[in-house]
């Protein structure tokens, strides 16, 4: 358990328990599962059980990007803004993003965290040809990129990923053991 002490402008120290790596990874897997389910369902509604011929795929690429890629790309940013520092996975696991000054992060901080997610999340290309192999490739690439993220979280004193370091935020437990 990593304890985070944040000094406020009133010279009061707030104590927070940093979210541990297993809890963060589980929240990430919940969000990842939500996105995979969204991906599969949206592809099914667009294309049915089989892929259409290449000419139809090319004509639907813009719709595919709009309906699939854009929501997947914006999921973490929008959910953290609307749910006050939480995604569905974070909410289920009782963790939240806060600013290092103890307040809720501002939109700029959420945006910086989200920009750094680009290095961790290959789902920008949800419009790619859908097949079981392509979905498996997305999952494998995401897990491979996750190794770097996990390494950074494990070696930073407050369990921060690169986006947290850049945005001056930290992920904390909302229900503490102390």
CA–CA dist 171, 100 (Å, integer): 10
pLDDT of residue 8: 73
Q: Angle formed by the axes of helices 70-82 and 21-47, to 10°?
A: 140
Mean pLDDT of the chain: 83
CA–CA dist 99, 6 (Å, integer): 9
- Residues 6 or more apart from 74 whose CB is under 8 A from it? none
Q: What is the pLDDT of residues 115-125, one digit of tens each?
A: 988 767 655 55
156: phi then psi, degrees, rounded to nearest 5: -85, 145
Global pTM reads 0.82
Judge whether 157 and 1 are in contact, CB under 8 Å.
no
Q: What is the pLDDT of residues 96-122, one digit of tens each?
A: 999 998 889 999 999 999 998 876 765
pLDDT by residue, tens only, the chain of 178 residues: 578 888 777 778 888 899 989 999 999 899 989 988 998 888 888 777 665 554 555 566 677 778 888 888 899 999 999 999 999 999 999 999 999 988 899 999 999 999 988 767 655 554 455 566 777 777 787 788 888 888 998 899 899 999 999 999 999 999 866 5
């Amino acid at each position: 358990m990593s304890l985070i002490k944040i000094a406020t402008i009133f010279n009061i120290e707030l104590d927070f328990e940093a979210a541990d790596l297993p809890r963060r990874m589980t929240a990430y897997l919940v969000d990842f599962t939500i996105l995979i389910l969204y991906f599969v369902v949206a592809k099914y509604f667009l294309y049915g059980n089989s892929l259409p011929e290449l000419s139809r795929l090319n004509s639907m690429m813009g719709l595919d990007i709009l309906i699939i890629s854009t929501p997947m790309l914006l999921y973490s940013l929008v959910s953290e803004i609307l749910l006050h520092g939480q995604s569905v996975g974070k909410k289920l696991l009782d963790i939240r993003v806060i600013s290092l000054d103890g307040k809720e992060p501002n939109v700029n901080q959420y945006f910086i965290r989200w920009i750094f997610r680009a290095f961790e999340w290959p789902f920008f290309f949800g419009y790619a040809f859908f097949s079981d192999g392509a979905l498996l490739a997305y999952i494998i690439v995401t897990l491979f990129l996750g190794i770097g993220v996990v390494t950074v979280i494990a070696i930073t004193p407050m369990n921060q990923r690169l986006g947290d370091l850049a945005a001056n935020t930290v992920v904390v437990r909302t229900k503490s053991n102390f």
